[in-house]
Structure 1
C-alpha cells in the first residue's frame, strides 16, 4: 500500500506500507480524494504547532468503504467523508458536548497518520455517508465545517456587519456561512488575486486589499462603527493582533487561525470595546451536517472552490509549487 509521508519539513515521499487491519468498531476506507489546506502546507514547511514527524498528512477526506464490522449501517463501496477529529469521549470537553476540543484529541493527519494513503482504518462513528456528493465535494466538507463552526461560535444575527481577514480556504468558508446567516460580509487580504477571485467567482462584492490605509478604509465602510463580528483566518500573528482594531464596541473577535506564538492585545482597547474574544477549533458533527445540507441545496459553490487537482504520486514534487502559487490556489485536491 502506498502512502505519502512527510519525514521532516520540506520532505514528502511516497513509501510502501502494509495495508491496515480494522480493529474493533473500525471501518476500512479506500481513499479517493484528499483536500490540501493550510495545516498541510504548515506541516510541510515545519511550522504546525501540534505535530511531530514523521507523519502521513491528510484530514480533508473522501473515499469508499472497503470493509465494515458486522452489523454496520455502512456498506462496502459506499461513498463517504470522514470527521477527522477523533475524541476520547470521556474528558471534560467531551462530557460538555465539545469533542472538537477534547483534551486527548487525535486529529487525523496531525496527531496521528491521516488519509494520504490508499486505505485508512477509522472508527465507524467518524464516517459520514456522502452517497449523493461527488468525491470532490466530499473532500471539501471538513474545511467548510471549520468555517461553519466559527460562524456558529459567533452567533451572528441577520444584518450584522462581519469582517473576514484572510481570503484563503478557511476565510472563504467563514465568509460563505456568514453570508448564509444573513450577515453583511467584508473580506480583507494582502493578496489582490485572492480577493478578485472571491469577488468575481464567489460573489463577495466588498473586498479590500490590506495596506497602510486599511483602518481608514474599514472605518469609512461602517460609518466609524467597525464590525459586529471579526474573524481572523490569516495564520499571521501580526494580522491577528491588528484584528482587534476592527471590532465594534460590544463586538466579537473570533480567532480561527492557530499560530505558534503569543497573542498580545492592548488591554485598554480590549476593555474599551468590551470585546468578546472567541477561539474556534475544529468542528462539531452539527457543523458537518450543516455543510452537507448546504452543499446538497446548492448554497455552496463547490465547483468554484475547487481550483486545482494533483495526482497522489505527483504530490511530493508538486507541493512546493502549490505553495509558491498560493495566490492562485484556493482548494487543491489530491487524487488517489
Structure 2
C-alpha cells in the first residue's frame, strides 16, 4: 500500500484535497478553490473531518459503490464562507452528507436518508477532506453550542441515533450491540439513553475493555462465547449489528428473544441466510437502518449540548491534513484502540 504526499504550496484561489487515487494510494492534491455555489447551495469552509470505516474501506479498495479517484470525507464541520439565505458568513455548521433528490418516492414520503438517487459526499461524489466544498443548504444544520471537533462527530453518532429510533426502544428492552467500533459505541450510547439494558459484544477484548473504561458499559461479551445462560437465557429483545461482517450477522439470529427486533446497521456485500422456522417462531422483525435524517442529527446535537454524550472520550486523536499521508495506512491497519480520528484543516 503506497501513500504519497504531493501537497503543493498553497496559492491564492487554490486548495489542498485528500484524495484516494486508487486502492492503496492516498495523496494530497491541489485543486481550484470553489468561488461560487449553485442556487440553493452554500460554500462551506471545512474545519474538521472525521475519518471512518467508509474512508478506510475506500483506501483498501473494499467499498462497493465507489469510482476512483475520490476526495474522501463525509463527517464534516465547517463555517459558512459567504452569507446566503438565512446563513451568515463564519457561522459554524454540521453537514449532512446525504444528498437526496427530493423527488423519488422515499423522499416524498419523508425518508431522504434512503433516497433512490442518493449521492453521499466522499462516496458517490467528492467529499469534504479539503478547504472548501459546496453543499445544498437543506443539508446544513446550525452547530450552536458545539465546538468544531464536536460538530465533526455528529454524523457518525447520528447513524446510531437513527438505528435506535428505528428500533423503537423502551426501558423494558434488553439490548445487544454487536461490534464495539465507532458506530457500535454510538448506537450503544443512544440505546442507553433510551433507558434500555445495554450489552456489548465484540471479538476484541481490548475494545470491550475500552468501552467499559471510557463509557461505563459493564455488560460486555466476547464474540463466540455462549452467553445464553442465567438471566440472559431467553435472549435479547433487540440486537443491533454494527460489525460489517456477514458471519457475525448470521451468528446473531440465535441470540434473539421471542418477539424481538434485529436492526442491521452495518451493510455487507454477501447474502445473509437464517433458519426460517427459528425466525418465525420468534416473530422476529428484521429492520434495515440506513444513514440518518435531520431529526437524528438534531437528537445528537442536543445530547452533546446537554453533556449526555462525552465527545472527549470518543475523539481518540486529532491530526492536521498534512499529516494524513503518513498516518492513513497505519490508522487503517490498527483500529483496535481507535474510536474516532479527526483531521483539522
Give the alignment's TM-score, normalised by structure 1. Answer: 0.96
SS at match of 1:146: helix
- Corresponding residue of 1:57: 72
3-state DSSP of counterpart to 2:253:
helix
Partner residue in 1 for 2:124: 111
Q: How far apart in 2 are the matches of 1:200 and 1:143?
A: 21
Residue equivalent to 1:19 = 33
Q: Distance in 2 between matches of 1:298 and 1:145?
A: 16
Whether the aligned pair in 2 keeps the contact of 1:28 and 1:68 (CA below 8 Å) is: no
Q: Deviations over 1:54-102 (max 9, x none)?
A: 1111110011111233xx1111111111011110001000011000000
| Aligned counterpart, 1:169 | 182
Deviations 1:276-333 (A, max 9, x none): 0000000011001100110010000100000111211121221111122201110110
1:75 is the counterpart of 2:84: no
Aligned counterparts of 1:131 and 1:231: Cα–Cα separation in 2? 30
CA offset digits 1:167-205 (Å, max 9, x no partner): 000000100000000010000001111111110110111
* Counterparts of residues 1-336 of structure 1 (less than 5 Å): 1-20=15-34, 21-69=36-84, 72-211=85-224, 214=225, 216-217=226-227, 219-220=228-229, 222-336=231-345
Q: Where do 5+ consecutive residues of structure 2 fail to align?
A: 1-14
Q: Deviations over 1:240-264 (max 9, x none)?
A: 1111111111100000001121111
- TM-score, normalised via structure 2 length: 0.94
**1:25 CA drift (Å):** 1.2
In the alignment, is the contact (CA less than 8 A) between 1:31 and 1:62 conserved in 2? yes
Secondary structure of residue in 2 paired with 1:238? helix
Helix, strand or coil: the match of 2:297?
A: helix
Report how far residue 131 of structure 1 moved. 3.3
Q: RMSD of the TM alignment (CA)?
A: 1.0
Q: What is the distance in 1 between the residues matched to 2:23 and 2:272?
A: 25
Partners in 2 of 1:43 and 1:281 — Cα distance?
19
In the alignment, the residues of structure 2 paired with residue 313 and residue 265 of structure 1 have an alpha-carbon distance, to the nearest angstrom, of 47
Matches of 1:59 and 1:304, distance apart in 2: 21
Between the aligned partners of 1:289 and 1:30, the Cα distance in structure 2 is 21
